[in-house]
Amino acid sequence: MSEVQLDYTPIPGIRLGTTAAGIRYADRNDLVLIEMQQDATCAAVFTTNAFCAAPVVVAKEHLAASTPRYLMINSGNANAGTGRDGMAVCRTTCEALAAEAGCKVDQILPFSTGVIGEILPLEKMVKALPLAMAELNENGWSDAAAAIMTTDTVPKLVSRSFESNGNTLTVTGMSKGSGMIRPDMATMLAYIATDAQVETDLLQECLQQAVEPSFNSITVDGDTSTNDACVLMASGAGNAPAITEPGSAYTALCEAVRAVCMDLARAIVRDGEGATKLVEILVESAADLSEAKEVAYTIAHSPLVKTALFASDPNWGRILAAVGRAGLKQLDIDAIRIWLDDVCIVQDGGRSQDYTEQAGQRVMDRDEFTIRVELGRGNADTRLLTCDLSYDYVKINAEYRT
């Protein structure tokens, strides 16, 4: 396999190995192992989908029982909707890796992404594990980021540095995701690591705070995957004192983790299946956060709005209609204002008197812009990233299994 070259900073104490197991496609890497050094800590969040995949069930069990040493990730097959047989295959692959690595079974966290409803090919997975083990190295992030892709068009990998007690530490993260994106926890798959030494509970809190404004605030198509997971690892191999309580070092860490999550989340939406537009939806002055999110998601998930975005059509009536059907009680339509970037399109219950089609077209022709809704009901605001719905989205998903 040819190596993938991406700009990132490796994390001491974290090694990655990638190989081709032939799970769905020939001649492409599709299996990744991530090894954490002995004293590393780990945090994770998982999908809220009731039909969560076998690896999600097993990963949750193992994370609750032990401190992980290895992450095992495959693409091309989700091992979801596969019942007891899929669960048995997942557990057997964990046992095989534990025997190969010389660790306990519950120190393995498995992850899968790909087609739902097909059992993971056990023999191919087990045969490929030693090959992936042999490739483990701290500079393996680029190949790993490419190997976990499914319908993604580009790998997603970023790094950020931060200062901790006079020392420079790093956060590096990779993710995959392009379709079936409305995470409600994280994203389809994301793996983030730092060389900071962090107590486990603090690491978990840091991750949960980071995913809310990033991975939990994006949507491509409104579909929450059966396999979503986001993992944050802290190797403790950096030259800085351990973070054991909230303070300036912990704040700096959380800011860096959040920045990496935001970068990856933005990259996922930008790479949405067939996407040509990156659109921020900003809902302001809502009565509470719940109704702000309801309005934002109603706009983002409207097929009519999304196809207008693809056409660069300033059909402002579709946005107005989406706000109106979001289910807000006692909505005062005269108090609502809607904007495309700096162009006011709706005011006083209808089209803004200052609005012109030319001004709206100028914004819609951009690759990136903001739809801003002022509800005039309170002080709650929310932001959401989404994209358009193109011909290619239908083509990609119609042909996904062929």
Domain boundaries, the chain: 14-270, 278-398
Q: Are 156 and 105 in contact (CB under 8 A)?
A: no
Token representation of residue 84? 């007891």
Q: What is the pLDDT of residue 1?
A: 37
Whole-model pTM above 0.75? yes
CATH of range 278-398; options 3.90.1150.10, 3.10.20.340, 1.20.1250.20, 3.40.250.10: 3.10.20.340
pLDDT per residue as tens, the chain (402 positions): 344 456 899 999 999 999 999 999 888 999 999 999 999 999 999 988 888 999 999 999 999 999 999 999 999 999 999 999 999 999 999 999 999 999 999 999 999 999 899 999 999 999 999 999 999 999 999 999 999 998 888 999 999 999 998 999 999 999 998 776 677 665 569 999 999 999 999 999 999 999 999 998 988 877 777 888 999 999 999 999 999 999 999 999 999 999 999 999 999 988 877 789 999 999 999 999 999 999 999 999 999 999 999 999 999 999 999 999 999 999 999 999 999 999 999 999 999 999 999 999 999 999 999 999 999 999 999 999 999 988 887 887 787 666
Of 181, 229, 268, which is closest to residue 53 (Cα–Cα)?
A: 229
Catalytic residue, from 172, 187, 219, 386: name it.
187
**Per-residue three-class SS string for the chain:** CCCCCCCCCCCCCEEEEEECCCCCCCCCCCEEEEEECCCCEEEEEECCCCCCCHHHHHHHHHHHHCCCCEEEEEEEECCCCCHHHHHHHHHHHHHHHHHHHCCCHHHEEEEEEEECCCCCCHHHHHHHHHHHHHCCECCCHHHHHHHCCCCCCCCEEEEEEEEECCEEEEEEEEEECCCCECCCCCCCEEEEEECCCECHHHHHHHHHHHHCCCHHHECCCCCECCCCEEEEEECCCCCCCCECCCCHHHHHHHHHHHHHHHHHHHHHHHCCCCCCCEEEEEEEEECCHHHHHHHHHHHHCCHHHHHHHHHCCCCHHHHHHHHHCCCCCCCCHHHCEEEECCEEEEECCEECCCCCHHHHHHHHCCCEEEEEEECCCCCEEEEEEEECCCHHHHHHHHCCCC
Q: Are 157 and 199 in contact (CB under 8 A)?
A: no
Assess whether the region 14-270 and the region 278-398 belong to the same CATH fold.
Answer: no
Q: What is the pLDDT of residue 153?
A: 86
Q: Is domain 14-270 classified as CATH 3.40.50.720?
A: no
CA distance 16 to 252: 26
Looking at the chain, how many residues does it have?
A: 402
Token representation of residue 361? 């077209």
276 is catalytic: no
